[in-house]
């Protein structure tokens, strides 16, 4: 068997079943268990695969309010603001962006009161010049991953 595209095929197989055993991956990819183990180790060491975590449905555990928070920040304070947001346990994503705002953060909250409290606390920071918060009405697609392209062999 040629190992061309093996890493991409391995990643795609894990996207389909992140709990797949080395043996089942080897069978699916038609290579030895040792080959799968070695390539998987390389992918982990290279930072391509960053870990194996469960995908939590936050709505199902009571965090059914999702907020998209946009912030305009004083330029030199950007690292401090993003660090503060990243450290907040309910912020699931924090992005530095271009455009009218400097930061976009996605947060999960149990209710609008909890969301309101967190946003008000955040806005006490004098380095935040402006903000805009949107509450998500319906998550059409969330936390999706996509398979890697594989060149035809």
b/e map of 61-70 (b: 16 or more CB within 10 Å)? eebebbbebb
pLDDT in tens, 10-58: 999 999 899 999 999 999 999 999 999 999 999 999 999 998 888 899 9
Alpha carbon 5 to chain centroid distance? 25
pLDDT in tens, 126-140: 999 999 999 999 999
In angstroms, what is the C-alpha Rg of the chain?
A: 20
* Residues 6 or more apart whose Cβ sits within 8 Å of residue 39: 3, 6, 7, 10
Distance between CA atoms of residues 9 and 149, nearest Å: 9
């Amino acid at each position: 068997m040629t190992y061309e595209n093996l890493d991409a095929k391995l990643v795609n197989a894990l996207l389909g079943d992140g709990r797949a055993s080395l043996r089942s991956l080897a069978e699916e990819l038609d290579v030895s268990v040792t080959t799968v183990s070695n390539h998987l180790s390389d992918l982990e060491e290279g930072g391509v695969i960053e870990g194996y975590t469960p995908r939590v449905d936050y709505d199902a555990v009571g965090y059914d309010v999702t907020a998209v928070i946009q912030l305009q920040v004083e330029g030199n304070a950007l690292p401090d603001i993003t660090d503060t947001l990243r450290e907040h346990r309910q912020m699931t994503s924090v992005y530095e962006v271009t455009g009218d705002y400097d930061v976009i953060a996605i947060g999960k909250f149990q209710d609008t009161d909890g969301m309101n409290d967190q946003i008000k606390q955040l806005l006490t920071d004098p380095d935040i010049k402006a903000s805009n918060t949107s509450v998500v009405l319906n998550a059409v697609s969330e936390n999706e991953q996509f398979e890697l392209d594989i060149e035809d062999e």
